[in-house]
Amino acid sequence: MRLAWRAAGWIERDARLGASDIRGEYHLGILSIRSWPRRGASRVGAARESIRNRERCGVSDHESGLPPLGDDELRRYGRHLVLPEVGLEGQQRLKAARVLVVGAGGLGSPLALYLAAAGVGRIGLVDFDRVDLSNLQRQVLYDTRDVGRAKLAAASERLRALNPEIEVRAHEVRLASDNAFEILGDYDVVADGTDNFPTRYLVNDACVLLGKPNVHGSIFRFEGQVSVFDAARGPCYRCLFADPPPAGLVPSCAEGGVLGVLPGVIGVLQAIETVKLILGIGEPLIGRLLIFDALAMRFRELKLRKDPNCRLCGANPTVRALIDYESFCGVGADAAGAGAEQLTVRELAGLRARGEAPELLDVREPFEIRVAHLEGARLIPLGGLAERVAELDRSRPWVVMCHHGTRSARAAEFLRAQGFTNVRNLTGGIDAWSLEVDPTVPRY
C-alpha cells in the first residue's frame, strides 16, 4: 500500500481495491477514509445526461419547479455537481434561491462574493453608504478605484462580473421599520452583516414576524460570532439578548478596531450556513452560537435555548410589530448627545484662533491618540474618567472630544452629573476636525 499526495488530499492506492476506489483525506489533522467515485468529471457528464433523459421523458426542470442549468452553468458549478449532497438538484435549488445580505461591509463582502460564486440565483444587498479608503482593509468587494462610489453600485458590478448567471438587486436605502417587511419579504433567507444594534434587532424582529431564517454574524477586534436564528426551530436573537446594551457601552469597529481578515472568516461561515439552509443539508447553527477567537485560533460553541418568555417568539409575545429601534437601543438622533451642549469643529477652531479656547478633554484610547490628536488636548480614556475626574478643574469651561462624538457625548453627560457647569461636546469629533478644519490631521 502506498500513499501519493494530490491537491485534493491523500489518495490511498491498493492493488486489491482499485486505483481510486478509496480516498483518505487529511482534514484538520484527521486522516479519514471514505468511498469516492472514480472521476468527478463523470458526475458532470451524468448531470448532463440526466437533463437529456428528463427531457426525453417529457419532464422539464420547469415542471419540477426548479430552474434549468445551461451548459456554461454545468461547467461553472462542476465541483458542486460531484458532491452527492449537492448534485444537479441542489445546484438548481441554489439557482432558485433568493438571499438578502443586509450590510455590504466587512461581513457582507465575503458573504456576497461566495454566495454569488456558489450560484445563488438572486442576491439582494441593503446598504446606503459610500466606499471609504478605511473600508479597504477588510471590505474585499471593493478596491481603491471604488473610493467615493456608492457601495451598492460597486458591489453589484463586482458580483455580476464574478458570476453573470445571477441576479443582483440593490436596495440603496437605510433599512428601517417602515421598509423592512417590503424588502425582506421577497427573500428566502436573510444574512445579517450589520454593525449596529438597532439594525440587528430590526433584522431579527422582521425575520421572526415574517417566518424567515436569519444567518447572524458579528465581529469585534479579534473575535467573531455566527449563529442561525430561526424562531420556528430554535431561539431568536432576542432570546439571547432580550435588551440591547446601554448606548455606547459596546464600541463600534471604528472605535475599537477589527483585524482585517476576521470578517473574511465570519462572512464565509455565514455563507456556508446560508448554503446549507438552501440545500437542506448538514446541521445548521440553530440553537448554537459559534465563537471564533483569532488570537488563540480557537472555535468554541455555546448551546442556545429558546426563551419561553421571549417578548418576540415566546409563548406570549408582546412584540407583534416593528418598533423604533434607534429609540429602543438609545442611539437615536437625540440620544447621542441628549442634554449635552454641542460645539462644532468650526466654532472650536474660531475660539482657538482668538485665543479663547476652552480646556479640551480627549476621551479616546492611547492608540488612537498616536494616530491623530489635537495639540493641547488632555487625554483621559472614557473607561478611566470616573477614577480620574478629580484631576479636572470644575470651574473651567471644557470641550470633550473623541473620534466621532459619541463617546464624548457620554463623557460630557457624566461630567455634568459630577457638577461641571460648563461642558460641551465636540460634534463629529476629530474626524470632523480633519474633514472641515485641518485636512493634515490623519483620518482613521
Q: Is 37 exposed, middle or buried (0-12, 13-18, 19+ CB in 10 A)?
A: middle
Q: Which residues of the chain have pLDDT under 50?
A: 1-40, 53-63, 333-337
pLDDT at 43: 54
Give pLDDT tens digits for 305-343.
999 999 999 999 999 999 999 889 877 544 444 556 999
Structural domain spans, the chain:
97-329, 342-437
Q: Which residue do the cell numbers 456576497 mark?
A: 112
Q: Which of 253, 310, 313, 329 is catalytic?
A: 253
* pLDDT score of 42: 54
pLDDT of residue 48: 56
Comparing 97-329 with 342-437, is the CATH topology the same?
A: no
253 is catalytic: yes
The per-residue pLDDT for range 128-163, each reduced to its tens digit, is: 999 999 999 999 999 999 999 999 999 999 999 999
Residue among 207, 313, 329, 402 flagged as catalytic: 402
Q: Domain 342-437 - what CATH class?
A: alpha beta
C-alpha cell at 292: 471564533
Active site residue 313: no
HSE of 402, CA atoms in CB hemisphere, 13 A: 25
> Grid coordinates in use for 337?
448627545
Q: What is the pLDDT at residue 180?
A: 98
Burial class (CB in 10 A: 0-12, 13-18, 19+), 353: exposed
DSSP 8-state assignment for residue 241: -
pTM given for the model: 0.75
Homologous superfamily assigned to 97-329: NAD(P)-binding Rossmann-like Domain (3.40.50.720)
